[in-house]
Structure formats: C-alpha cells, structure tokens
Structure 1
Amino acid sequence: MSVSREAYWDDQAATYDRTTAFLEPRLFAPARQWIADRVTGRTLEVGVGTGANLPYYADRVTDLTLTDVSAAMLRAASARARAVGVPARVVQADSAHLDVPDHSFDTVVSTLALCCVDDELAVLRELARVLRPGGLLLMADHVESSARLGRGVQGVLERISPRRAGEHFRRRPVLLLEPAGLELVESAASRWRLVERLSAKLVGT
C-alpha cells in the first residue's frame, strides 16, 4: 500500500464513524454480529479501522491483536478497545505482510478491508499463512451486488471514489479462496448481496 493511501486513511480516521453512520446499522452491524458469534481463541483482526467490531465480541476474546496500515486508525481502535474493556495489542502493518509466525491464530477477522487493498489474493494468502489448522477466517465486505442496479451504482462509486482510497466496490473475496489455500465453510449475504460474509478454513483441515 502506498504512502499516499496510508495518509488518506489517516485523514479519514477522525470522521470515519460519522461517515458510515447511516450504513452501519443497515448493512454492517448484522455482518459484525455474524462474525462475533464465530470468534474463538487467539484472534487477529486485520484492517481494524476504528475498531467497530470490538463492542460485538468484547466478552468473547481474551487474546486479541489488531493491525491496520493507518496509525491514526489504530489509535482510534485502541481507544475503543479500552472503552469496551477488550485487552488488545495493536500493530501497524500491511495486511499482505504480517510479521507473525505461521499458524499463529485460531481466528482471523477481516471486515470491510479487502475492498481497499492493492492485491486481495496476496492478502488472503497471508491470512491463510497465519491461520492455524482447524481455525477460521471470518470475513465481511461490500462486494459485487447480485442486482443489476446495485452493480451500476457500484460502478459509479468506483469512478468517483478518491484514487488515494484505492477502494473497490465489485470484488468478491469468496471467489479467491481456493487459490489462497482456503475452503469455504459458511457464507451469507445481505439483500441484493451488497455485503457478503463468510467463514473459511485451510484446505484439508
């Protein structure tokens, strides 16, 4: 991720929660709860942003590591972790290059993050690398809609989204699980498939 992309998300950190406030209860909150219901054990959340997931699994996680490429986002997430009483380590890192050993985590979480990375397959392979055999990758993201009108709106959003944000609205991470060494366990989606959520595990485990 380029320095300009990091700077963009640093600039967004103070207003991000207000910017997403309309969509949060309508699209994002159900996906966050779905993921929280499946989190267990030693957990890594990549692209944590301001930490919007934290209140959902505050009483479920005792060993939590949070990463983000943006230092400002990490500060916001750290403050939210303290507010909801979740002990967490915070590490500034690109999701495609995590400085942790192989098979380190029981659960790896990514929400609304793969839409903003340069190479989503590289990130998925990295998340698979740090996931222990038998563990779960839990993901939710806005993806290519199942409705023609939705896809049209997404195409417009991609054209007007700031270049520095690097945001993509028509990706579908579920289609890249196999080349990343992962297999689908469970999936669900919102109406018109605006947000898709999934759980996956390492192939053969």
Structure 2
Amino acid sequence: MIFSYDKIAPNYDKFLSIVEEKSIDKYRKKYVPLIKGKVLDIAAGTGNNIKYYPKNSDVTLLDASEGMLKIAREKAKEREDLSLEYINQRLEDFELPDNYFDTILSIDVFCSVQDQDKAMKNIKRVLKKDGRIIFVEHMKTEFFLKNIPLYFSNLLTYPTVGSSMVKETDKKIEKYFKILEKEKLNYSFRYYLVTK
C-alpha cells in the first residue's frame, strides 16, 4: 500500500480531519509529550505528532511513504527547537541499530501494518533494554456488537489506505512486550506503555 499513501498524501490530512478532531488529536496531545531521550516515531505520516513533541526533542520520523514525510518536513519548519531525522522505510524491515532508542511512539499505526509480527520484532530490536514504547492504537474489541461497525468501516478503509479496523493488535503487543500500563480509551482505541 506504499503507492496508495504517496498518492493520497496531499489530501490525507483533509480526508482524516474529522477523525483527528474527534479522537486522535486529543490522544496525541496527551501521550506525545511523554517521549524522552532518543525517540523513534513510527509510521509518522504527515507529522501530526510534531506539534506535541517536547522542546529540544531528538526524534527520528519513520514512514514508508516519501509523500507523507514531505508534508511532515513542511510542518516541522515551525519547530526550530527540535532535532529531527526522516527515514523512508517500511516498519517491517527498516534498518536501524539494535538497542538504540529510549522511546518509540506508535499512534494509529498498526491498523495499516501488513505483517504485525515482523514489525513488532523490529521495533523491539531497536528499543533499549530499559526503553519504553507508547502505543495508542485502535483495534478489534472484545464486544461483538461494537465490532460490527468496524467491519463495515473496513469496506472503505482497507481498499483506500490498507487500514483494517479489526486487527487484534492488543494480542501482538502483549505477545512481544512487558506491559507497564494499559487503558481503554474511546470506542476501539487502547493505550499501552510497554518495555522489553
């Protein structure tokens, strides 16, 4: 789906403006400021986390779409206090050093990851032994009735941007990481703070 993201990049923020306004932006505002040290922002997209990075943050923004990163670079021009690096690679097979990052930030990412196991292993590899990952993800819930609208949403989201509303991302997080904190957020969103 890399080509799809490049193609829709100029209209991506407009396309998801309602979702951002109603839910995701408030999670960014709450959880992004928790990053510390050397940070990896995975599937950073058009850079909607940038405005919430703490002052003087050192962040590597990773995304499979160069078109999305181009927009992120434009947004970053308003934050001269930051040290930013941009890497155009897939989450499943990016090449960065082992045990390198203090914090990894994952907001609204794994719905679009084709091989979640491979991606989880890769981010675990680059996380320092005492590092932390902040996950804010939407996923399939444990309630059948709540999942029905999610399955219908897939009819739009999967063909357009490869995003599945019913992935069991919680099971993957709990398989690969030690859970420090977790919380149910609105509807199908969940927050996890994890370590190795």
Q: 1:183 aligns with which of 178, 189, 192?
A: 178
Q: Which residue of 1 aligns with 2:190?
A: 196
C-alpha distance in 2 between matches for 1:25 and 1:59: 23
| 1:139 Cα deviation from its structure 2 partner | 1.3
Q: 2:96 aligns with which of 77, 100, 105?
A: 100
C-alpha distance in 1 between matches for 2:77 and 2:25: 20
Query: Unaligned regions of 5+ residues in structure 2, if any?
Result: none
C-alpha distance in 2 between matches for 1:60 and 1:145: 37
CA contact (8 A) 1:137 1:199 kept: yes
TM-score by length of structure 1 reads: 0.88
CA contact (8 A) 1:174 1:184 kept: no
Letter in 2 for 1:70: S
Letter in 1 for 2:191: R
Show the 5 A alignment for 1:67-82: 67-82=62-77
Distance 1:21 1:119, change over 3 A: same
Query: Unaligned regions of 5+ residues in structure 1, if any?
Result: none
Q: Secondary structure at the match of 1:167?
A: coil
Deviations 1:116-172 (A, max 9, x none): 111112111111100001110111122124554431111011233343622110123
Root mean square deviation, CA, Å = 1.7
| Identity value in percent | 21
Distance 1:37 1:21, change over 3 A: same
Deviations 1:167-204 (A, max 9, x none): 11012322113432x11111223233x211211100xx
Matched, 1:66 2:61: yes
C-alpha distance in 2 between matches for 1:173 and 1:37: 23
CA contact (8 A) 2:150 2:166 kept: yes
Q: Which residue of 2 aligns with 1:50?
A: 46
CA contact (8 A) 2:56 2:83 kept: no
TM-score by length of structure 2 reads: 0.91
Show the 5 A alignment for 1:133-172: 133-163=129-159, 165-172=161-168
